Homo-oligomer: A and B are copies of this chain.
Amino acid sequence: MAESISSDVIRGYNDTMILFLLLDAPSYGYEISKQIRSLTDEKYLIKETTLYSAFTRLEKNGYISSFSQEAANGKKRTYYSITPAGEEYYRTKCEEWHLTKDVIEHFIRN
């Protein structure tokens, strides 16, 4: 019985998950990792290194932008917000997902 998901399977959708969580409001690493955890009922736990390297990649591609802000407790955080290009990319990935799902399901029995 498959009980947890190997992240290799998810490869290519970590970016999409992050962008989705930034659609409504800017956020930062630790919060996003907790959101992914709770949204998926602990079924998917993104690795810290995976998450932060995704931030770097997404920013380099112009899909998110970052700014520093002090939290209530005086700690400094790096926040990220989605850019218009990021929103566009997110929509593309959603379309791609539907296609991908259909393709893979041809090979799934039951």
Q: Which residues of A contact B (CB under 8 A)?
A: 1-2, 5-6, 8-13, 16-17, 20-21, 23, 39-40, 43-44, 90, 92-97, 99-104, 106-110
- Which 4 A/B pairs are nearest by Cβ-Cβ distance? A2-B96, A20-B107, A2-B95, A17-B107
Most chain B CB inside 10 Å of its own CB: which residue of A13, A20, A44, A103: A103
Residues of B within 8 A of A44 (CB): 103
Can you list 10 A-B pairs with a CB-CB distance of less than 8 A? A2-B93, A9-B13, A13-B104, A16-B104, A16-B107, A17-B107, A21-B107, A23-B109, A40-B103, A44-B103
Q: Is the interface of A mostly helix, strand, loop or mixed?
A: helix
